[in-house]
A = this chain, B = another copy of it.
Amino acid sequence: MINIVILGSGNVATLLGTSLSKAGYNNIIQVWSRKLEHAKALANLLHTQFTDDIDQVVDSADLYILSISDDAIPFVVSKMKPVSGIIAHTSGSTSIDVFHNKFSNYGVFYPFQTFSIGKEIDFKNVPILLEGSDSNSLSVLESVALSISDKVQECNSDQRKVLHIAAVFASNFTNHLYTISQKLLEDNGLDFDLIRPLILETALKVQEIMPAEAQTGPAARNDLSIINSHLKQLESEPELSAIYRLLSNQITTFTDKNRS
């Protein structure tokens, strides 16, 4: 049983805190958040203590999970008192070195998933990527991660950065393409509901096969008559045309390469 302090109260802090709490053999002894009411809300969920004063963070915990926005990490790290326990952030984009010179035992505990407030998530399937300043820190982080997820692996800061970029393409940009389709449908009196099954099936397909094999559509077939008719239809939307052109060209080139 190790004692944990959670610093932060957002989506990740909340889902991580509740999952660790359910996992049972971890003991969350305190929640800190910049806003007292946020700290209190999460602490109540976890039946534990809370504070909004960084100086009041207990110094006796085994593990400090720092789950706050990327740009706030260096500031909070600079304000914290040094602790002998392990401190780990949950960020995809912040190097492990942010803890260097201030703490002795530290690491990264990065759950690789998109989280929304109010949406339950089964952590079992969420990859947790770990990095540690030393083998003991890594091993403590590993045992905590394994208590909630089946997919735990080591990953250095360079790889984590690539993972984050890949996530921007596969999740943030993908969601923007959904938004574009929503706009196209609504502008033409059609309901977004019509396209929801297609969106889901597209994501389900690549759970089994690789996306390069799953590619279909006019660009993969290099069907210029359809591509040009779509571009004509999008004439009044220069930004959509630009995206259509760029992605279609790349799909065609890529499919040619794969097939030759």
Contacts and interface: CB of A to CB of B under 8 A. Distances in A.
B163 A251 contact: no
A188 B159 contact: yes
Give the secondary structure class of A's interface. Answer: helix
Q: Which of A70, A153, A166 has the most chain B CB atoms inside 10 A of its CB? A: A166
Contact of A93 (B162, B207, B226): B226
A159 B189 contact: yes
A199 B174 contact: yes
Each complex incorporates copies of this chain amounting to 2
Interface stretch (A23-31, A132-140, A237-245): A237-245
A234 to B, nearest CB: 7
A211 B182 contact: yes
Interface in A156-193: 158-159, 161-182, 184-185, 187-190, 192
A197 B125 contact: yes
B184 A162 contact: yes
